[in-house]
Amino acid sequence: MHKGRLEAFSDGVIAILITIMVLELKVPHGDGLADLVPMLPVLSSYLLSFVFLGIYWNNHHHLLQAARHVDGRILWANMHLLFWLSLVPFTTAWLGEHPFAPGPVAAYGFVLLASGCAYFILSRLLIARHGAESVLARAVGADRKGLLSVALYATAIGLATVAPRVSCALYVAVAVLWLVPDRRIERVLSE
């Protein structure tokens, strides 16, 4: 089975998700620049989710590049990841309408947490398929950054009721952590 169509389908879904979030940016009624100020929370949550989906696309790109084979289980693990990512526009819109409210903050983190776990499962299935000695296995490694992200998401969810602003700061921190491109895979591949 070729990985090309899996990549193309995933790219399509992520491209659509990253784009339809913009449909939540409702045009203000007024016509002054000051009318954009109340939109800042919506714009900020859009920016944050744009970065998160960009990170997933980027890492997915690297992961699949190192892969040689896909099978039915991997197709479904990928679909599972896409399912959780598909809920990002929903939690983004909710968070944008109720900035720093505990419910949306926790829901936003939960979807990120589930996406992180789905990505972890996908990478483990790919490693199991390619063998522990494969380029892919060495490139992914222990995936400490992935595990750290999941831990930070869980912490942020736990803090959502008591300190939702700290939770949001943790989401931003994870995004910054990943904006540094994943040099491990690039390094191993170029060896």
5 forms part of the interface with its own copies (CB under 8 A): yes
Amino acid present at 122: L
First to last CA, the chain: 26
Closer residue to its own copies (CB): 5 or 132: 5
Closer residue to its own copies (CB): 143 or 182: 182
142 forms part of the interface with its own copies (CB under 8 A): no
Tokens of 98: 């109720």
Closer residue to its own copies (CB): 101 or 154: 101
11 forms part of the interface with its own copies (CB under 8 A): yes
Instruction: Compute how many other C-beta atoms are within 10 angstroms of the C-beta atom of residue 49.
Output: 27
CA 32 to chain centre: 34
Which residue from 41, 44, 47, 151 is in contact with its own copies, where contact means CB under 8 A?
47
Would you tell me which residues interact with its own copies (CB under 8 A)? 1-2, 5, 7-9, 11-20, 22-23, 25, 27-28, 30-36, 47, 50, 54, 57-58, 61, 65, 71-73, 75-76, 79, 82-83, 86-87, 89-90, 93-94, 97-98, 101-104, 106-107, 179, 181-183, 186
